[in-house]
Amino acid sequence: MAYEQTNFFGKKIYNSDTADSDSDITVLEISDESDSDIIGPSPAASNVFYVADKMSAYLEAGASNRLLLALQFDLQIPEYVAGCKALGLISEFITIPLWCCLEDSNISIMDIGVHFKELVAYLEEMDYQKFVEGKYLMTRVDRQKVLNSRIVLSLVKPWEQDDKVHVILQMIIPALTGVVKRLLADHLVGGKWNNPTEDQKYKTLAIPKHNKFCESVFGYLDRFIREKPNSTVLAMESYVLFCHNKTLEWLSNKPAGERQFIGNG
Spatial CB neighbours of 117, under 8 Å, sequence gap ≥ 6: 187, 188, 189
Spatial CB neighbours of 186, under 8 Å, sequence gap ≥ 6: 192, 193, 194
For 176, 204, 205, 230, the CA distances from 109, given in Å and listed in that order, are 22, 7, 7, 40
For 89, 92, 163, 170, the CA distances from 133, given in Å and listed in that order, are 10, 12, 12, 15
The string of DSSP letters for 127-163 reads -HHHHHHT----TTS-HHHHTT-HHHHHHHS--TTHH
- pLDDT tens, position by position, 98-128: 888 888 888 888 888 899 999 999 999 999 9
Three-state DSSP class for residue 209: coil
pTM over cut 0.85: no
- pLDDT tens, position by position, 26-73: 444 444 444 344 445 467 888 899 999 999 998 888 878 888 889 889
Q: CA 55, CA 205: separation in Å to the nearest integer? A: 47
Q: CA 86, CA 42: separation in Å to the nearest integer? A: 9
Most confident of 58-67, 99-108, 163-172, 202-211: 163-172
pLDDT at position 164 over 80: yes
Quick one: which of 9, 181, 198 has its CA closest to 111? 198
